[in-house]
Amino acid sequence: MEGSSQGARILVASNRGPVSYTVAEDGTLGSRRGGGGVVSGLSAIGPDAGAVWVCAALSDGDREAVRRGVAEPGVRMIAVPPEVFHAAYNDIANSVLWFVHHLLYQTPFEPVFDEEFRDHWAAYEAYNEAFADALAQEAAEGAAVLVQDYHLALVPALLRERRPDLRIGHFSHTPWAPPDYFRLLPDDVAARLLEGVLGADRAAFLTHRWAAAFAACCADVLGAEVSADGGSVTHRGRTTRLGVHGLGADAEFLRERAQRPDVVERMAALRAEAGPGRRLIVRVDRTELSKNIVRGLYAYRRLLTEHPGWRERVVHVAFAYPSRQDLASYREYTAEVSRVAAEVNDEFGTAGWTPVILKVDDDFARSLAAYRLADVALVNPIRDGMNLVAKEVPVVSDQGVALVLSREAGAFEELGADAFTVNPYDIRATAVALNEALTLPEADRADRSKRLAAAATALPPTRWFLDQLHALDV
């Protein structure tokens, strides 16, 4: 299919788009704009660039908007049949690909690659094809297309078949699995995913570690050739360049947003709830299996056991916002987080002290309030592409924050030097790190926090986005 001269010169493709719709009881359609790195990044080129963002209809509201032909300028939502979407998103992207890249399988019980898996995989293929078709239609001759994440791993190759004139980039926001783990996948699926991404001119990652793992998978599974410097992969005569762009926090947005009255109000409320003068260990996450919230609670419990002097003097503020609740494993994990938090409160709580404040209703202003007040930030994922919370807290912190950071988070590559780094599986070591972070002298804490903030904002989302475009010679 040829691109028309009217087509877009710059395109973005992602599962979750910048806008979502809901249908009110009276049938009117409401829209809500979302945030995130790609949204802020895209603002760098401004509305006049005429970029088009292709995304999926995720909800009934989104599907209704597509049916009524309602769309925001520059956004094209594609509505595949709901059962195809659910199989592609829930059963493959979030239950298989997410699990593989975050090393989440509980072998020998999972994974199961049966007939049902094959049906789901066919849906994932169809969903990726729908994206490739839409992009092929929307793109001008020679346009640049930035494809995002594991939901769309097949799109680069499918799009190249349709439109060899395009410049295609793929960006992985997750870690990439090491070859021995990636090979859990059925051979044809493993090969298809790698060849899908290799359809891009450039495949980019958040850290060198994830880029190297991808290259190692290509060598191992496909027998592809990795260049001596690790900067490119050649397979069947085509070379794909690899890139690393460590997305940073959006300092300008965060600092302005964190000063607003709604945040200040929530600071007062949180301070009152925690009790004046108490130290705060703060964590903010989606309730996500890879975030390791339960082990964080166990480490906190150990801190209170091993260092009873902290009792009544510290509060663990855990904001854990439900996510991917269509999946049983996420629902169970959400329940487990509440259960363990209640257990710690039962064990140690007193009339005037609640050791864990757990909140599950998503409230961005309250998250910022907790960031500003945090003495210690706990970021202990099992594995994480980057982890922006680790970067955001030091940026808005009032007094400086001590960061306890998993060495398995992408952010470790940039922030490790000034954080208390932990093996996320090691509850004992995490408890030790929490104690060290709490006892860090104030001046050291302020110095470290400043250096963390500087490292965290080295690559703002706008630069992150433009760098990827420039790397495709745009």
Question: How many Cα atoms occupy the beta-carbon half-sphere of 342 within 13 Å?
Answer: 6
Kindly state the smallest distance separating residue 152's Cβ from ligand G6P, in Å. 9
Of 143, 138, 125, 136, give the one whose Cα is nearest residue 201: 143
CB atoms under 10 Å from CB of 70, counted, come to 13
Residue 58: other Cβ atoms inside 10 A: 17
Which of 362, 399, 361 has the alpha carbon at shortest distance from 377?
A: 399
Q: How far is the CB of 174 from ligand G6P (least distance, A)?
A: 5
| Site membership for ligand G6P, residue 291 (CB under 6 A) | no
Burial of residue 177 (CB within 10 Å: 0-12, 13-18, 19+) is buried
CA-based nearest residue to 67, from 126, 155, 59: 59
Closer to ligand G6P by CB, 290 or 449: give it. Answer: 290
Query: DSSP secondary structure string, 117-186?
Result: HHHHHHHHHHHHHHHHHHHHHHEEEEEEEEEESGGGTTHHHHHHHH-TTSEEEEE--S----HHHHTTS-
Closer of 83 and 161 to ligand G6P (Cβ) = 83
Closest CA to 155 of 178, 174, 136, 180: 136
Between CA 249 and CA 457 the distance in angstroms is 5
Site string (102-141) toward ligand G6P, x via CB under 6 A: ----------------------------------------
The amino acid occupying position 270 is L
Task: Write the binding mask 221 to 240 for ligand G6P: x where contact by CB under 6 A, - elsewhere.
Answer: --------------------
Say whether residue 174 binds ligand G6P (CB under 6 A). Answer: yes
DSSP state of 384: B
| Closer by beta carbon to ligand G6P, 149 or else 418 | 149
Q: Give me the least distance between CB of 121 and ligand G6P, in Å please.
A: 19
Binding mask 313-352 for ligand G6P (x = CB under 6 A): ----------xx----------------------------
CA distance 378 to 281: 7
Residues 467, 245 contacting (CB under 8 angstroms): yes
Closest distance to ligand G6P from the beta carbon of 371 (Å)? 18
Least distance to ligand G6P, CB of residue 391, Å: 14
DSSP SS3 for 352: coil
Counting residues that bind ligand G6P (by CB under 6 A) gives: 6
Rounded-to-integer distance, Cα 140 and Cα 135, Å: 10
CB of 260 to ligand G6P, least distance (A): 24
445 binds ligand G6P per the rule CB under 6 A: no
Closest distance to ligand G6P from the beta carbon of 37 (Å): 9
Quick note: the x/- pattern for ligand G6P over 12-41, rule CB under 6 A, is ----x-------------------------
- Smallest gap from Cβ 472 to ligand G6P, in A, equals 21
The percent helix, strand, coil of the chain (3-state, each to 5) is: 50, 20, 30
Choose between 40 and 174: whose C-beta lies nearer to ligand G6P.
174
Report the residue number, 326 or 442, with the smaller CB distance to ligand G6P: 326
Nearer to ligand G6P, 270 or 409 (CB): 409
Closer to ligand G6P by Cβ: residue 120 or 173: 173
Q: Which is nearer to ligand G6P, 4 or 325 (CB)?
A: 325
- Let me know: does 159 contact 135? Beta carbons within 8 Å: yes
Q: Which residue is nearest to ligand G6P (CB)?
A: 173
Q: Which is nearer to ligand G6P, 246 or 400 (CB)?
A: 246
CB of residue 311 to ligand G6P, shortest distance in Å: 36
* Per CB under 6 A, 149 contacts ligand G6P: yes
**Residue 61 Cβ, how far from ligand G6P at the closest point, in Å?**
15
Shorter beta-carbon distance to ligand G6P: residue 130 or 389 = 389
Q: Which residue reads 């009217």 in tokens?
A: 6
Structure tokens at 113: 């690659």
Q: If binding is defined by CB under 6 A, does position 173 make contact with ligand G6P?
A: yes
Q: Which one, 3 or 17, has the nearer CB to ligand G6P?
A: 17
Q: Shortest distance, CB of residue 286 to ligand G6P, whole angstroms?
A: 6
Contacts of residue 300, defined as CB under 8 A and 6 or more positions apart, other chains included, come to 281, 316, 344, 355, 356, 378, 431, 434
Residues binding ligand G6P (CB under 6 A): 16, 149, 173-174, 323-324
